[in-house]
Amino acid sequence: MNPSSKDIKYLAEHLLHTGVGGLAERELQALMRISRKLQSVRPENALPDRGPTFGERLADRVAEFGGSWTFIMIFGSFLLSWAFINSELLGTKAFDPYPYIFLNLMLSMLAAIQAPIIMMSQNRQTARDRMTMIRDFEVNLKSEAAIDGLHKRLDHLTWELLSDLDLIKQGQRQLLQHGQPHGVPPPDSAADNGPLAG
């Protein structure tokens, strides 16, 4: 075992419902691979137990609205209206004449505020994607263990069936040898020596 034995014990108990001692070498290797993979993507404070805060919900809403056609149309209309009002309607009395320096200042401040908010929302989405990936790993591990169990069960049933067929074949051979009527040739030895012959 390596330093991540605590993680392997957790995975064995909660995903495979067994202790580490009851694992085959292949299952232990799979758990070690999954544990290393989880450690590379999961921070120390594992899965968050609390819901999103007000600030996180607000960041999600701002990012959602800021990346929509509605925002683009509203903001484009605002910019065109600003330019029209300050160039055509107010003429020489414009409060922000061309080249619209005050508008540029407001746009710069908006971009300075909007960019970190969108980055906060992207960080939350990245964390959600990471948790989804971890859950996918766990589901894949459960599936691998279930398929491995099915393979073992099928192998066991196959060997039981082959053993029963071998017993039946031996019984038929004994019947033919002891109860063979005179004048009837014995069965063909080539057909009798199959892969299940004892």
Residue 22 has a pLDDT of 67
**Residue 45: which pLDDT band, with cuts at 50, 70 and 90?**
very low
- Nearest Cα neighbor of 35 from 6, 68, 72, 66 is 6
Percent of the chain whose predicted confidence (pLDDT) is above 90: 22
Between CA 46 and CA 101 the distance in angstroms is 48
Separation CA 70–CA 197 (nearest Å): 79
Residue 137: CB partners within 8 Å, gap ≥ 6?
34, 37, 38
User: Which residue shows structure tokens 């012959």?
Assistant: 197
| pTM tops 0.75, yes or no | no
**Residue 3 covered by a domain:** yes
Specify if 151 maps to a domain. no
Q: What is d(CA 67, CA 148) in angstroms, rounded to the nearest whole number?
A: 46
Any domain includes 16: yes
Any idea what the Cα angle at residue 171 is, between residues 168 and 177, rounded to 5°?
140
Which structure tokens are listed for 57?
A: 């919900």
Is 187 in contact with 198 (CB distance < 8 Å)?
A: no
Q: Which two tokens stand for residue 54?
A: 């007000």
Domain assignment present for residue 92? The answer is no
Cβ-contact 155, 148 below 8 angstroms = no
In a domain, 5, yes or no: yes
Residue where the block lists tokens 């959600």? 128
Backbone angles phi, psi at 43, to 5 degrees: -70, 170
Ramachandran category for residue 17: left, alpha or beta (phi over 0 → left; psi -120 to 50 → alpha): left
Task: Classify residue 148 as left (phi > 0), alpha (psi -120 to 50) or beta.
Answer: alpha
Count of domains forming the chain: 1
The reply to whether 10 falls in a domain is: yes
* Res. 197 pLDDT band, cuts 50 70 90: very low
CB 51 within 8 A of CB 57: no
Q: Of 110-119, 130-139, 142-151, which gets the smallest average pLDDT?
A: 130-139
What are 22's two structure tokens?
Answer: 């009851």
Range of the domain at 20: 1-41
Render pLDDT for 93-126 as a digit per residue (tens, 0 to 9).
888 888 899 999 999 999 999 889 888 888 888 8
59 occurs within a structural domain: no
Residue 21 lies in a domain: yes
